[in-house]
Chains A and B, each alone.
Chain A
Amino acid sequence: MDGLIQQKVQRFEEFVDRRLKPDLVHAIAERDKVFEQQEVFSNLRRNIENLEKNSVTSLQTMVNLGSEVYMQAEVPDTQRIFVDIGLGFHVEFTWSEALKYISIKEESLANQIQEYTRLIASIKAQIKIVCEGIRELLQLPAER
């Protein structure tokens, strides 16, 4: 009897360690990526709003050529901006269009984050269930 129980306990533990925990780690990583993208877009939005506010028409900036070697660059006309919409495409926008796009993008990103959060929660719940099962098998007092 004990042997059987031991076996079951071991199987449950292995299941937790090999499948559930890596899944959890994976989901968290994906969610972090989406967080970053969200941050990027919110920064962009802030910058565009700044430009609009100060009516900046031309811009001087430093461009990184690689390995931190910079070169001066000039943007004569800031009216047109090309935004990355994913899958390697960049769309030419005016400021207001760009702002509209960015707000829509931010919404979809927020949705994605919610999805990932739900997934992570479910994985955590599964882990908890298995642990409870192990405890029952071992007839240890249930922790509350």
Chain B
Amino acid sequence: MQEPVKGTVTPLASLFPPEEAQKASKRVQDALADRQSELDLLQGFIADNTALVNLVQRLPDELHHDIMVPFGKAAFFPGRLVHTNEFLVLLGEGYYAERTSKQTVEILNRRGNALESQVDSLKAMMKDLKAEVSFFDATAAEAVEGLVEIREDYVEESSSERVIERGPPKPDSPRFSGEDSMKVAAEDEEYARMMLRFDELEKEELAAGSGDEHDEDEHNEADVDHSLSQLSGDHVLGSLEERQVRKPLHHSKDEYATTEELLSKKHFEEDFANQLKLEGLKEQSVPKDSDDVSHGKSFANRATQSSSHGKDNIQALPTSKAETSVQSSKPATDSLKAFTGSIVEHTRNIQMNPREQAASSSQSSGSQPTKPVSRFKMQRR
């Protein structure tokens, strides 16, 4: 980080005092115990219901059943059950229905389903409560350890596009926003560096002249790029979450992650715009979108480019991209995922990024309306 940023350091214990966290945890545990007893009650009802279903099914087997008929609470008469297929079922609110055995079984099954759904909702509530308990415990433990929350102001740079704040719905978010701002500042510098490199490579491409056909290379490149981006994306997700959990912040890791992010989520369009720019030097027109539509198209671009275009661009591109990728997002390149979609789009309708236009003015052929978003991009989105 080059610029000094203002920040505050607050010990987590002051925000979430450990005793209170423990008290809260205990309260939630009590609520949990209540729910547990309700759950047991409901499960008892369900068991009774099933037993009754069995009984109702077996009763019509005989014409009469000899039973002891209760007479009040403390006396019985010996007697018989007659009309064994007729059941009087209470529907609630003083309404009864006289039904046969099969119909009664159906009614009881419906009652059982209602009970089951109640049990499920209760279980879901209990799960939430358990999550709360574990959160409180974790917070209490962290506060006891003396975890510190660091907040820093976000410094916006004019030239970069600020992409998504992944606002996690956790109480960790204040920590996260601080990290985010630091990250972005670092990202922008990284990005500027990458741009410079791309520019240099582009010049090399121009000097190199036309190249061969390498359909496979195209696809590989598409694969690699896609996989890189996706992996960086995934990895960024993973690393972001990691960072939320890990206590001290590491600048180096931030920059690392920032470049990953840079490559993947935030600056997809720039990446592909760069690559396209290189390709476009040999093509007629490669106008690109400034938004994410472009990378879908650029994929399509490269996927469908055939022999006549400069393949050396593409060759150089993977190397350059591989260089930068390797340097800046090693974790992403460790496991390559195959690009399993198929994209067939035409190259004509992509608009150039304003930034790129400055660099490759020879190729602009006017902006054109964007095509519908590719399936690949929608997947990624």
Q: Is the CB of A66 within 8 A of B51?
A: yes
* Total number of residue pairs linking A and B with CB closer than 8 Å: 98
Q: Is the CB of A84 within 8 A of B78?
A: no
Number of interface residues of A (CB under 8 A): 30
Bound-complex Cα distance A80 to B104 (A): 33
Residues on A with beta carbons closer than 8 Å to the beta carbon of B96: 70
Q: Is the CB of B79 within 8 A of A74?
A: yes
Asked if A71 meets B88 with Cβ closer than 8 Å, knowing A65-B56, A76-B80, A82-B75, the reply is yes
With an 8 A cutoff between CB atoms, is A44 at the interface? Answer: yes
Query: How does the 8 Å CB contact mask read for A66-86 relative to B, with 1 for contact and 0 for none?
Result: 111111111111101111100
Residues on B with beta carbons closer than 8 Å to the beta carbon of A4: none
Return the chain B residue nearest A43 by Cβ.
B72
Bound-complex Cα distance A76 to B52 (A): 26
Q: Is the CB of A59 within 8 A of B72?
A: no
> How many Å from the CB of B60 to the closest CB on chain A?
10
Query: How does the 8 Å CB contact mask read for A26-62 relative to B, with 1 for contact and 0 for none?
Result: 0000000000000011011001000000000001011
Residues on B with beta carbons closer than 8 Å to the beta carbon of A75: 69, 77-80
Q: Which of A93-133 contact B (CB under 8 A)?
A: 98
> How many Å from the CB of B161 to the closest CB on chain A?
65
Identify the B interface with A (CB < 8 A): 48-49, 51-52, 55-56, 59, 67-84, 86-90, 96, 104, 108, 111
Asked if A78 meets B74 with Cβ closer than 8 Å, knowing A66-B55, A71-B87, the reply is no
With an 8 A cutoff between CB atoms, is A138 at the interface? Answer: no
Q: Which of A66, A82, A98 makes the CB contact (< 8 A) with B78?
A: A82
Return the chain A residue nearest B99 by Cβ.
A69
Q: Is the CB of B52 within 8 A of A72?
A: no
> How many Å from the CB of B41 to the closest CB on chain A?
14
Q: Which of A43, A61, A69, A83 makes the CB contact (< 8 A) with B104?
A: A69
With an 8 A cutoff between CB atoms, is A90 at the interface? Answer: yes
Return the chain B residue nearest A90 by Cβ.
B76
Bound-complex Cα distance A35 to B86 (A): 37
Q: Is the CB of B77 within 8 A of A78?
A: yes
Selected A-B contacts with CB under 8 Å, 11 pairs: A59-B69, A59-B77, A62-B88, A66-B48, A66-B55, A70-B89, A71-B86, A73-B69, A73-B79, A74-B82, A81-B76
